Amino acid sequence: MLEFSSLSTWPIVVGVFINMFIGSFWYSPLGFGKVWSKLSGVNMMDIPKSEANKSIAIVALGAIIQTVALAVIINSVEADTFLQGLVVGLLVWLGFTAATTIGDTLYARRGWNLWWINSSFFLVVFLIDAALLAVWN
């Protein structure tokens, strides 16, 4: 049974913040931004400000949905330790990110390096958020 009733607000808020913080670093020039830009063919500096702001808002909404869904999964499987959270985070990433984005990458002919940059961002976020949500229950 899916467990919605025992969701805690603060772990979800912190999880969303972690998602956005890691993403802002991950795709910045200090992180993988330069390599991502080269591999994707997208120059972040060429994106109009209104379009960038809209994209950030949509990404934030996605982070909220993602963190709530992960919290529901964590609660439903009754994961309540750091290690159980990591296992759930890894399984969610393997099944719902890694497996589903490989086809997109292959058909778009984007290459494994771009897949790894994008996919490993979610691996890191899922591992941290799932461990946090499992422990802070």
Render 101-125 in DSSP notation, one character per residue: HHHHHHHHT--HHHHHHHHHHHHHH
Which residue bears the tokens 């994961």?
79
- Are 28 and 98 in contact, with CB atoms under 8 Å apart? no
Q: What is the pLDDT of residue 86?
A: 98
pLDDT at 92: 98
Q: Looking at residue 26, what is its pLDDT?
A: 97
Task: Using a cut of 0.75, tell me whether the model's pTM lies above it.
Answer: yes
pLDDT of residue 15: 97
Amino acid (one-letter) located at 110: R
Give the tokens for residue 70.
């992960």
The pLDDT value given to residue 43 = 82
pLDDT for 12 equals 96
CA distance 82 to 65: 22
Buried b (16+ CB within 10 A) or exposed e, 49-72: eeeeeeeeeeeeeebbebbeebbb
Report the C-alpha gap between 44 and 91 in whole angstroms.
31
DSSP H or E segment with residue 77:
none
Residue by residue, pLDDT tens for the chain (137 residues) are: 777 778 899 999 999 999 999 999 999 999 999 999 999 988 877 888 888 899 999 999 999 999 999 999 999 999 999 999 999 999 999 999 999 999 888 888 888 999 999 999 999 999 999 999 999 97
Residue 124: alpha-carbon gap to chain centroid: 7
